[in-house]
Amino acid sequence: MAISRLHLRPIQFVDTPIGLPDGSVARLAGGMQWFAAYEAIADGARRTVPVADFDRMFGADERATRLHRAITAPRPPLALGARTLRFDQPSVAGILNLTPDSFSEGGMRGDDPAAAATAGFDMTVAGAALIDVGGESTRPKAPLVWEGDEIKRVVPVIERLAGSGALISVDTRKGAVMEAALAAGAHIVNDVSALLWDERALGIVAAAGCPVVLMHSPDPARGPHGEAAYGNVLTDVFDWLEHRVAAAIAGGVDPGRIIVDPGIGFGKTLADNLALLNGLALFHGLGCPIMLGASRKRMIGALSNEAPVDQRLGGSIALALKGVEAGVQMLRVHDVAETAQAVRVWRGLKDQALVGG
């Protein structure tokens, strides 16, 4: 049966497939989660489709089949020099922002590359699999940073981190900064504009052969916090990212080296953000690993008596675990040690559940 713009969201997660009838559950993205049904969204309607009935109900539908394959296909690891970034289990990316108005303490070390790099080293010891280095704030109304100044901020820190063997992503939307950071030893480009702010960015990433994080925002050519009127924020963001993934592949980026980020807090209301977080599993239909950046976001303050940035740890952990439960592979966070500990405890519970205990 052909359905216009079908979307599939995995639901009815189960602790273990052990003891269940064959074909009654499916594994989510080759990870640690199993699910028994889809929420099928099409033409404004939603209905529940058991995994066991999928072939009977959707087997002849090309889009449904493609989404199902994308949702259940394992995400291959990324070999990055001597290090490997795995996506069969959740991991943590530590935020190291070298800007004066950063949410993170690294912002206080922007003029001291050695101290900033030490903060990054400490994150790896605390459990970060990746260090995300940024030299320009993406907070609302933050001033644009000249690319030369951004390069001066990030390159000395990246060089030091790369020398220690750390995996590094550079958080930038500027082609010149991407080039300088990759030359300094960064492994991944993390672009809040999904390669749309700088017309050179796509070519640079494709030529470098590096992985890239494509994040959603409503109008990235103008800035990350443009306003938007969503029909259905969950499917609208999915469709936008689906288009950007296709454009990146058409531009020469290896599909196995694309990571997606729904852009929590970027051009979205509190209700929009909550809907995206509740529907995160839908984004596995893009066939890419998912990065979630919800750490210390304003929505936490909005839900907790306007708690200031330095008092949002509990909410940040809650959102991180919400992402892990939805199968998100990478958590971009400020509080590495606390988040890594939470993920380890979740992992212990999941390991025990998977063996039937």
Strand partners, 319: none
Q: Pick the catalytic residue from 297, 312, 322, 347.
A: 297
CA distance 150 to 162: 18
Q: Pick the catalytic residue from 75, 109, 296, 332.
A: 332
Task: Write the DSSP symbol of residue 142.
Answer: P
The 3-state secondary structure of the chain, one letter per residue: CCCCCCEEEEEEEECCCCCCCCCCCEECCCCCCEEEEEEEEECCEEEEEEHHHHHHHHCCCHHHHHHHHHHHCCCCCEEECCEEECCCCCEEEEEEECCCCCCCHHHHHCCCHHHHHHHHHHHHHHCCCEEEEECCCCCCCCCCCCHHHHHHHHHHHHHHHHHCCCCEEEECCCHHHHHHHHHHCCCEEEECCCCCCCCCHHHHHHHHCCCEEEECCCCCCCCCCCCCCCCCHHHHHHHHHHHHHHHHHHCCCCHHHEEEECCCCCCCCHHHHHHHHHCHHHHHHHCCCEEECCCCCHHHHHCCCCCCHHHCHHHHHHHHHHHHHCCCCEEEECCHHHHHHHHHHHHHHHHHHHCCC
332 is catalytic: yes
Question: Can you say how many angstroms the Cα of residue 131 is from the centroid of all Cα atoms in its chain?
Answer: 14
Strand partners, 35: 13, 26
So which residues are the catalytic ones? Answer: 297, 332
